[in-house]
Structure 1
Amino acid sequence: MEDITVSELKERIEKGEKFVFVDVREEWEYEEDNLGAENIPLGELPDRLGELEAHKNEEIIVHCRSGARSGNAKKFMEGKGFTKVRNVLGGIMAYRQL
């Protein structure tokens, strides 16, 4: 599935849209600054994938600091059968520059 831009994400958050939103940064990064996503650090994702199992065929938006870790999370999740995972291009750094 196509990735998502920070502009599109911001617009959807501002509209109050409901979607599965996952932040794969470390807990300390999440505590410093977050967008309201569920925090599942990339290193914990394999063990916590069951938490997302009910959303396997729904859109899941993943983000991190710059887009690299969330890109890896997207590939991992797609390999586990998740069909609509979207990575936030540029991550929270790009989002905060809007």
Structure 2
Amino acid sequence: MGLFDFLLGNNTAKIKDFQSRNCVIIDVRTKQEYVQGAIIGSKNIPLQNINGKISEIKKLQKPVITCCASGMRSGNAAGILNSHGIETMNGGGWASLKNKLD
């Protein structure tokens, strides 16, 4: 088990569960970061905009996986969304998450 697995937990099973329930992937990086590479089908909502999108995200009625560059911003976003009653998990860095989705 690597350091990041220890810090973030081995979340592969949870990711698969969320996928089976048609989750939404929200990438909380900046637009500039997002256009340089992202998970196909993910939604780009920068962390600083997440509070303003709560009602829109709730309307989706789907579990959410957040991601960013390293997992720090997505962890913050997951905490915010969870506090608003949205079932959310931190998927960590987008590149790593992409590999787990394949």
- TM-score, normalization by structure 2: 0.69
* 1:85 maps onto 2:70 in alignment: no
**In the alignment, which of 61, 66, 69 is matched to residue 65 of structure 1?**
69
For the pair 1:44 / 2:49, whether they are aligned, the reply is: yes
Work out the CA distance in 2 between the residues paired with 1:77 and 1:33.
24
DSSP 3-state at the match of 2:11? coil
> Would you tell me which structure has more helix in proportion to its own residues?
2
Runs of 4 or more, structure 1, over 6 Å off, are: none
Question: Which one scores higher on RCO, CA 8 angstroms, separation ≥ 6?
Answer: 1
> Are 2:60 and 1:55 aligned?
yes
User: Secondary structure of 1:50's match?
Assistant: helix
What TM-score, normalized to structure 1?
0.71
Cα deviation for residue 19 of structure 1 reads 2.2
Across the aligned residues of Structure 1 and Structure 2, the Cα RMSD in angstroms comes to: 2.8
Give the distance between the partners of 2:82 and 2:48, measured in 1 at CA. Answer: 16
Of all paired residues, the percent bearing the same amino acid is: 28
Q: Which runs of 5 or more residues in structure 1 are unaligned?
A: none
